[in-house]
Structure 1
């Protein structure tokens, strides 16, 4: 009887070992597949991230922040952030009563005010304006003087028409 108990215990232990070996093998295969899938996704995300970084660099090409030659014009002024300074000066033109003096149109719903500004280089600005319903864009030439005054000159303008 004692021999049979040891035999049954041995068989039970062998079955448990067999079960653990088979389930471990299956879990290993499943985990390997998961790892491969995740590696594929990571590679795709890396490619996508690289594409987005290139796109951002492309969009920043016409920007004063990334134009060392244009920034060199402002080295003697000791401005910490020339783009911000110029943008703030342009936004100050919105403070006048009525339409912004740089916008060559009369507001139809409200007064036309400048909303978004893109300082392209040391001479030009592209700006968006709106009255809440109608909008357009203006190209502005500017000059930042040694006394930190800024002169703005309208170069061209565009008002979008609504198509209903």
Structure 2
């Protein structure tokens, strides 16, 4: 009788071990698949990050903040570029509150409103791109600027256009 109990106990133990092995094997294979899937996703995301970094580098090419020659131009004249860039932008935005038509935008608003500069991008130590709108019509302009010997800021619109209303 003792032998039968030990044999049943042995068979039960073998079945339990076999069940655990099969169950663990399924979990382990699923874990490996999930790990591979996550590794592939990480690679895709790394490629996306690399692509975005390249895009940022390309887009920031024409940007005063990253143009060492333009920064050197201002630093030779004793300007702090970190303070000068916001100052130039603020001066352009200040023209939005002038009375009457905007002094730089060569178009007038059709509905009695006023054309205002919305966005400004300093390309280098001489050029600016700005967009403007009155809420219905919008356009862009290319502006040159210079700082005179009296440290005054002068703007001149070189080219502008108004998008057609569709």
TM-score range relative to shorter protein: over 0.9
State the partner residue of 1:63. Answer: 63
CA distance in 2, matches of 1:148, 1:39: 57
- 2:145 is the counterpart of 1:162: no
Among 80, 86, 99, the residue aligned to 1:97: 99
CA gap 1:79/1:70 in 2 versus in 1, 3 angstroms: closer
Partner-residue secondary structure (3-state), 2:74? helix
Structure 1 residue 78, shift from structure 2 partner: 2.4
Distance 1:117 1:33 in 2: 50
Matches within 5 A, 1:73-88: 73-75=73-75, 76-88=78-90
In terms of mean alpha carbon deviation, does 147-156 or 8-17 score higher? Answer: 147-156
Paired residue for 2:143, among 130, 140, 145?
Answer: 140
Q: Which residue number in structure 1 is paired with residue 126 of structure 2?
A: 123
Whether the 8 Å CA contact 2:118–2:130 is kept in 1: the answer is yes
In structure 2, the gaps of 5 or more residues are: none
- Tell me, what secondary structure is at the counterpart of 1:77? coil
Is contact 1:94–1:100 with CA below 8 Å preserved after alignment?
A: yes
Offset at 1:4? 1.9
1:140 alignment partner, SS class: strand
Structure 1 contact 77–146 (Cα < 8 Å) conserved: no
- Rounded Cα–Cα distance in structure 1 between residues aligned with 2:152 and 2:33: 65
| Normalised TM-score (structure 2) | 0.92
TM, length-normalised to structure 1? 0.93
Return the offset for 1:19.
Answer: 0.8
Question: Which residue is equivalent to 2:24?
Answer: 24
The structural deviation recorded for 1:2 is 2.9
Match of 1:151 among 142, 150, 154: 154
For residues 146 and 113 of structure 1, the distance between their equivalents in structure 2, rounded to whole angstroms, comes to 29
Structure 1 residues not aligned, in runs of 5+? none
Please state how far the C-alpha of 1:146 moved relative to its aligned partner: 5.4
